[in-house]
Amino acid sequence: MITHRPDDVPVGLRALIRDRAFLSILAFAIVIRIGIAIWPVIHHADEVWQYLEPAYHLGVGPWVMTWEAREGARSWLLPMLFAGPTALGYAIAPGSALPIILPRLVCGVISFGTIFGAVALGARLSRTHAMVAAVIATTWFEIAYFSSRTLSEPIATACFVAAAAALLVDRPPRWTVIGGALLGACCLVRFQYAPAVGILALWAGRLDGSRWRAMILGGVGAAIIAGAADLAGGAWPFMWIVRNFTLNLIDNRSAAFGVDPPWRYLVDIWDLWGWAVVPILILAVVGARRYPVLLVAAVVNLAIHALVPHKEYRFILLTTTLIVLLAGIGSIDLAARFRKTPTTGWIIAGWVLLSIACGATGDSTRTWGQNPELLAAWRVAGSQPQACGIAVYRPVEPIVGSYALFGRTAPIYQYGDDAQADARSSRAFDLVMTSADRAGDLPGYRLVDCPYAKRRYCVYARPGPCVKAPRTPGSRSTGCWNARASNGRARVTATSR
């Protein structure tokens, strides 16, 4: 078994690229991220309606517009990033999962910023540190799970870790510009990470004016790209930050989706990591001796998010990622105190087993199977070649309609409990998505498929063409949907284009 002293001289990335063990880790990282991309799971509604849906609109056609988009509280940067892959997927295989898989693969590629950033931080210390950091960034269950999710948190985290490597490792001045650009991108993808970004920038710049100028130059470059994306989306550059801050933190709109106490994230970490949280935190403190700024940034990021009433665990992905990476570095340093030549293989095996244990037990198990039935039902609907329109009839969730999930430009109609008569009389659609116990309300439809045992999202079809009813004053069009929040619940209403 190969052993290395933790106090070996630093190793360069070029040397690691020629290292077969390191290349094997990278190959495994690729496999994991492809697997996560095609895994039939929707982690959160934002993954679809805040990012994939506007990307579908930019690249293909109609979309479901959320209230945040209508209020101008969302950036167009990520939808612009995903628009090309979404359009390509639609052109190759309309109605399939490809328009979703390709943007996820883009996120998977971006997630390598976390891997290479972690490796560079470890390589500054030794090959052993680099290898352990590579394995953790590749296999730790949270980092792996979120790597191919179309969400802002994993992308911002990848930018932050890569920026840390560019700014904290001795490199030519141009890397300071790159680090500044990555920090700017981190803020512009998720502005809530700005306090952590500020701490890293202060540490890296200190009183060195040349480094500050280089970082600012890089940040301005990132801002130009993000501003151009907003302009292309028809919005004033960066105004979404003001609107988002005003609506969610001052007007407290986000509280409608749930409010938790400040210590909620600590409970969540305990629920996901269990007793492993104790050694991880101890090792993170040990590892922070190498990079204290990363621990400070992680704690500040956690504290800032703890003050916001509405909480979701993914919001603190930056914190948990930095903690486990520091813990990986700390595990090498601690092992060196008890053994002059700590065995790299055993340490790597321990981290992999710990990740499997945390990811396969407790609350983590629910993460791997969220919303598969909804995704499967839309895949069934999208695969029907004759589809000329689909009705979401009396859905069990308030927001179900999605062109990105449907993968077609045929009209989507949604009927609530108070519109049963309208649904029965309409011939504007030939497909219906509803729960199995409500299918009898619409005679003349045959079952196409009812994925999963819960039978909450079944697809039914009828023969014959679609006949769009003539429009009358005051009638509603389904060209564009607007998802609004009302009294803590969301409703979907059709608006004319």
User: 166-221: per-residue pLDDT in tens?
Assistant: 999 887 889 999 999 999 999 999 999 999 999 999 999 999 999 999 999 999 99
Residue 433's DSSP bridge partners are: 392, 459
pTM of model > 0.95: no
Task: Indicate whether 484 pLDDT > 60.
Answer: no
Is the pLDDT assigned to residue 110 strictly greater than 90? Answer: yes
Mapped onto helix, strand or coil, the DSSP state of residue 480 is strand
- Would you place residue 341 in the very low, low, confident or very high pLDDT band (cuts 50, 70, 90)? low
What order do you get walking across the sheet with 480-486 strand by strand?
63-66, 480-486, 489-495
Q: Report CA 164 to chain centroid distance, whole Å.
A: 20
Residue 83 pLDDT > 90, yes or no? yes
pLDDT over 70 percentage in the chain: 92
Q: Residues 262-268: contacts with CB within 8 Å, 24+ apart?
A: 262/306, 262/307, 263/306, 264/306, 264/311, 265/302, 265/305, 265/306, 265/311, 265/313, 265/316, 268/311, 268/313, 268/363
Q: Could you give the C-alpha distances from 90 to 81, 102, 159, in angstroms and in order? A: 15, 10, 28
Instruction: Kindly report the average pLDDT of the chain as a whole number.
Output: 88
Give the separation between CA 237 and CA 224, rounded to whole angstroms: 9
In the Cβ-directed half-sphere of 130, how many Cα atoms lie within 13 Å?
27
Who wins on pLDDT, 371 or 241? 241
Name the percent of the chain lying above pLDDT 90: 73
Name the pLDDT band for 9 (thresholds 50, 70, 90).
low
Judge whether residue 253 has pLDDT over 90. no
Asked if the model's pLDDT at residue 228 lies above 50, the reply is yes
Query: Residues near 35 by Cβ (< 8 Å), separated by ≥ 6?
Result: none
Residue 367 has pLDDT above 80, yes or no: no
Nearest to 459 by CA among 485, 489, 429, 420: 429
Tens digits of residue pLDDT in 280-290: 999 999 999 99
3-state DSSP call for residue 446?
A: strand
Q: Is 80 exceeded by the pLDDT of residue 140?
A: yes
State how far the Cα of 280 lies from the Cα of 321, in Å rounded to an integer.
11
**Gap between the Cα atoms of 37 and 442, Å rounded:** 36
Residues in the chain: 497
Q: Which of 223-232, 241-250, 417-426, 468-477 is predicted most confidently?
A: 223-232
**Residue pLDDT, tens place only, 415-436:** 998 899 999 999 999 999 999 9
Q: Enter the DSSP assignment of 151.
A: S
By the 8 A CB rule, do 112 and 158 touch? yes
